[in-house]
Amino acid sequence: MTAIFKKDLRSYFTTPVGYIYMAIFFAVNGGLFSLNTLLEGSDSQVSVYFTTLIFALVILIPLLTMKTFSEEKKLKTEQLLMTSPVSLGGMVMGKFLAAYTVFAGSFLLSCFNFTTLFRFGPKNLSGTGSAYNGAILLGSVIAVLLIGAAYVAIGVFVSSLTENQMAAAIGTIGMILLFLVISLLNSYIPFAPVRQVLSWLSIYSRFSNFTYGVFDFSATLYYCSICFVFLFLAVRVYEKRRWA
Amino acid sequence: MIKIENLTKRYGASYALNGISFEVNKGEIVGFLGPNGAGKSTTMNILTGYLSFTDGKVEIDGLDVLDFPDEAKKKIGYLPEQPPLYLDMTVTEYLNFVYDLKGCTLNRKKHIAEILEVVKLTDVKGRLIGNLSKGYRQRVGIGQALVGNPEVIVLDEPTVGLDPRQIVEIRNLIRTLGLDHTVILSTHILSEVQAVCDRVIIINKGRITADRRTEELAAAVEGNRRMSVKICGPAKEVLPAVRALPGVLSVESLGNLDMDSTSYVIESDSGIDIRKPLFQLLSRNNWPLIGAETAGTNLEDVFLALTDRPLEPKSRKRRGKTPENG
């Protein structure tokens, strides 16, 4: 597993993929951050920044995950991986962790942005400290990291289905969007139990608690489950291929 | 070393492999021979653990591949039909990655330097694989199979797409490897088997049609000798006269070449050399012999005979019409 992890992580930086991802990520992230918090006229609400970031990641994360398995399949290098003494689970995990490391690393780097808020942002009512609550920020950062893990897992799974990177990217965007905004359908559905299930499934509707400063344990569990389920499915895809 | 029993692989209703069994002993170089789609790659993929199988049993050095997949895989180095290369890595980086992937415990630097030496890649070890020519890439692929010094090396069509000089180099390399490894290679080129292998397993349509030592196979077809000749003379008279020679089994006319000469294929008993009596016969009748060529029997004939016979009983006739087999 470590060998595959190291190889994949390295390949993000020996090919343009990692740099392109990071360039776009920092540009979009910086733009969203300054639009929503720093610029005059913005409402200084960090929650809006986080929400928009989650939507931006729908487009960004497939850039990282689209090649994970598709490329191996196309170059037939998966034959090397599958005939080496590494379990399928280890193979999927190595690839997931490599993509996740790039995502989490660049996101955590971008968190330096917050220092500007505390340094230059509005003061709280008593005027003794920043108007921003560090705990809320931390909660939201953790939530984004969890949601990112779910996205990456979805991307890894979709990539295991096809050898076409473009198809993998588009499929991933579609699948993430489905999970993200499925609850938006609610206003059109008159049937309450269905509405409940849809909002239960939605990644987005579970995020709001974090922005209020509540650490939502069930949401955490939910994001981890999505992550686990899709990685498991990716393993199954490979298992099936071996037996088919 | 390798034991395959009644191996079957089914895709839906069609059988890719239909109950094949064979054993490979330590230190042997075994050639897997068969037309495209015969099941060579499937067998190799199963052997190396890439594919699973429907029925049967596969053992590597006494380890069942289903019960001990990781241990069995460690004993095998595999070069698939298309070498599994990462084009954005240098040769050294790639071999190091494979070293980690296989969880080797040998001295890393020394081992990789040795492999580079064996496959003659030391000069290009720092270059990106994507920039290497096909022959070099093939050697990187073989190098990859050698990482961890596995006891069994499986090579799927190792010389396909290489130029003649590279083919000779790779064959020499395989022979060197055969000195201290068990090697299984697949090919659809007969001369390759003759040049490299101790033993041939011919496989067709998912079944083994022959399993012999290379020299036995060649001997098996030495049964009859064939000769193609061009004779100037009236075919109506030449045919019966040549047929009457002692030892001649059959003569077939291939038709007129030009105004007065005709080509024939003469098949004769292996024990009798008909060249002298043939010459004497022709000179007696003043039928000039303007061309003669012994169409030596070789594995090509065995191959065609063995792979086609169950389907096409007239395979002998087909052989007669392809005198270029020599």
Averaged over A233-241, what is the pLDDT? Answer: 92
Furthest-apart CA atoms within chain A: distance in Å: 68
Q: Mind telling me how many Å the CA of B70 is from chain A's nearest CA? A: 4
Question: A84 to chain B: which residues are within 8 Å by CB?
Answer: 73, 98, 101-102
What residues contact B122, with CB distance under 8 A and at least 6 apart? B113, B116
Q: Which of B147, B181, B43, B29 is nearest to A85 (CA)?
A: B147
Read off the amino acid at residue B50.
Y
Counts of helices then strands in chain B (DSSP H, E):
12, 14
pLDDT in tens, A183-192: 777 778 888 8
What is the ipTM score, two decimals? 0.87
The pLDDT value given to residue B301: 65
Residues in chain B: 326
Averaged over A147-153, what is the pLDDT? Answer: 95
State the distance between the two ends of chain A, measured CA to CA, in whole angstroms: 24
Q: Quick one: which H or E segment has residue A221?
A: helix A217-243
The pLDDT value given to residue B255: 76
- Read off the tokens for B134: 């096909």
Q: Which of B183, B176, B156 is nearest to B38 (CA)?
A: B156
Instruction: List the beta bridge partners of residue B200.
Output: B31, B212
**Could you read off the pLDDT tens digit of each residue along chain B, which spans 326 residues?**
899 999 999 888 888 899 899 999 998 999 988 888 888 999 999 999 899 999 999 999 989 988 998 899 999 999 999 999 999 999 999 999 999 999 888 899 999 999 999 888 999 999 999 999 988 999 999 999 999 999 999 999 998 878 888 888 889 989 988 888 999 999 888 778 888 898 989 888 888 888 888 877 666 655 567 788 888 888 888 888 888 888 888 888 887 767 678 888 888 877 777 888 888 888 898 888 888 887 655 556 666 666 655 443 434 444 444 444 43
**Rg for chain A (alpha carbons), in Å?**
19
Contacts of A135-138 with C-beta under 8 Å, sequence gap 24+, read A135/A213, A136/A46, A136/A211, A136/A212, A136/A213, A137/A46
Q: Find out whether A106 and A15 touch, Cβ atoms under 8 Å.
A: no
The beta-carbon neighbor of B86 closest among A6, A77, A83 is A77
The pLDDT value given to residue B316: 43
Mutation target vs B (from A84, A86, A88, A240; most B CBs, 10 A cutoff): A84
| Number of alpha carbons in the 13 Å side-chain half-sphere of residue B149 | 12
- How far is CA A177 from its chain centroid? 12
Instruction: Say what the pTM is.
Output: 0.81
Q: Quick one: which H or E segment has residue A122?
A: none
Q: Give the number of A-B residue pairs with CB atoms closer than 8 Å.
A: 67
CA torsion, ordered B40, B42, B47, B51, to nearest 10 deg: 170
pLDDT in tens, A16-51: 999 999 999 999 999 998 888 877 666 667 888 888
- Read off the tokens for B222: 């030495």
The nearest alpha carbon in chain A to B96 belongs to: A3
The pLDDT value given to residue B318: 43
Read off the amino acid at residue A154.
I
Averaged over A207-211, what is the pLDDT? Answer: 81
The pLDDT value given to residue B224: 64
Residues A143-156 as b or e (16 or more Cβ within 10 Å = b): bbebbbbbbbbbbb
Q: Which of A94, A78, A2 is nearest to B96 (CA)?
A: A2
Q: Mind telling me how many Å the CA of B187 is from chain A's nearest CA? A: 19
Contact flag A7-B78 (C-beta cutoff 8 Å): no
